[in-house]
Amino acid sequence: MGITHQTQAGDLIYTVVDDCTTSFWAVITGSVTDEILGGFYAADFRISQTDLGTKTTPNGLYALTGYPDQLFPQLAITSYPMNFVLQATGFRDFNISMSVPVAATFPVLAPTAAMRRLPVRIQGRVVSNISRAPIANALVLSVDDPLSPPPAVHTTALRSPLYFAHGAGASAQFVSIGVGTPNKLDSDALGGSQVLNMHTLSGTGSVIQLSSPGQVNLEYGLIDHVGPGAPGACQVFLKNPLNRTYPAASTVANLTDATPTGTPTSLSTDANAGDGVLRAPVLLNAPTGGTVVIDLGAAGEEYHEVGAVSDVDGYYGLDGMGRVPEIFLNASQGALKQEVSWFIEYDNAINLVDFRLS
């Protein structure tokens, strides 16, 4: 027990304990890497959702600090759960769930954390190599590196990013889209919405294909149920939210069915909602593109066209590009084509990649 005495300063009296000693520890330490590039650097690397003190360095070292006897008063007989979130600009949040074990020796080492880059957009223009005139309806697909042996894991770019998260091992398969019945929207279909106000709804099928002129923008909505709307119309409720907005005046809403074809495969890595690429043991596109279904029959079932299409001015775009350091793109229209390798610049939200076809 420390010896106490009092001292007066002005109008205040202070109680002083001469030999009271407390210990302030780094109770948890850890480090992070960049999932794609390995080495990590982020000037604003930080820790959130914790009441402990925190210390971080830009190269990914961190510590949670505090008084162990106050934080873990029963540590001799019980463990303590710990949850916190690692954050940095340009990266997805990384949730850490761990425990401080019984009779732990401090600091306790946190699990390994590989921070995942936020995906970026790749866009550009497709033109003639001779005249520099824009080329419409060119198909831009992700392909394997033509100068290397086929990789164990292939990267397939999608025309519209994923609506749901999918775990490694989720099924992926080509589907055949029926001709379907064209319908019209009563009002614009807004990005993020799961409700379509349809002017008409004729035909049969469980999938709505929304497409802009030339199918530059194209998405599939899986129908959950149909409800009432204005006289002579109806509302269609989708299981997935839309990624983009589709104006009523120029959009074709095709009611159709999707028939699985070929042999299903499994995703090699997990995928986040918003990712625009699939990583799988096979390349999930044909030379002319194609449509894939992910998690067929599961709650997160969704359909996507692969690759991008250029508009009348030659412009194309691919959203959600990530998970790899480099991507190989092939743009083609008829006999005209060009292949480009591109190291993705994750520090730039938009990467510009142009094509000159010959």
Residue 194 burial (10 A CB sphere; 0-12, 13-18, 19+): middle
Mean residue pLDDT across the chain: 93
Q: Across residues 26-31, what is the average pLDDT?
A: 96
Q: What is the CATH number of domain 179-256?
A: 2.40.30
199: CB partners within 8 A, 6+ apart: 183, 184, 185, 186, 233, 248
Q: How far apart are CA 142 and CA 187, in angstroms?
A: 34
pLDDT of residue 311: 97
pLDDT of residue 301: 97
pLDDT band for position 232 (cuts 50, 70, 90) = low
The separation between CA 312 and the C-alpha centre of its own chain, rounded to angstroms, equals 29
In this predicted model, which residue has the larger pLDDT, 4 or 132?
132
pLDDT band for position 53 (cuts 50, 70, 90) = very high
pLDDT of residue 1: 46
Question: For the chain, what are the domain ranges?
Answer: 4-115, 120-176+259-357, 179-256
Q: Across residues 2-31, what is the average pLDDT?
A: 76
pLDDT of residue 195: 95
pLDDT (tens digit per residue) in 304-352: 999 999 999 999 999 999 999 999 999 999 999 999 999 999 999 999 9
pLDDT of residue 136: 97
Task: State the pTM of this model.
Answer: 0.88
pLDDT of residue 5: 72
The separation between CA 155 and the C-alpha centre of its own chain, rounded to angstroms, equals 14
In this predicted model, which residue has the larger pLDDT, 253 or 7?
253
Q: Across residues 152-156, what is the average pLDDT?
A: 96
Q: How far are the Cα atoms of 32, 41, 184 from residue 38, in angstroms, in the given order?
A: 9, 10, 49
pLDDT above 70 (res 230): no
pLDDT above 60 (res 2): no
Q: Across residues 145-166, what is the average pLDDT?
A: 95
pLDDT above 90 (res 8): no
pLDDT above 80 (res 223): yes
Q: Across residues 88-117, what is the average pLDDT?
A: 97
Q: Across residues 175-197, what is the average pLDDT?
A: 93
Q: Across residues 43-67, what is the average pLDDT?
A: 96
pLDDT above 70 (res 17): no
Range with the poorest average pLDDT among 153-167, 184-198, 227-241 = 227-241
Q: How far apart are CA 14 and CA 7, in angstroms?
A: 5
Q: To the nearest whole percent, how much of the chain has pLDDT over 90?
A: 84
Judge: domain 4-115, CATH 2.60.120.
no
Task: Report yes or no: 197 and 254 within 8 Å, Cβ to Cβ.
Answer: no
Q: How far apart are CA 354 and CA 358, in angstroms?
A: 13
pLDDT above 70 (res 171): yes
> Do 4-115 and 179-256 share a fold?
no
Helix, strand, coil percent values for the chain (each to nearest 5): 0, 50, 50
pLDDT above 80 (res 18): no
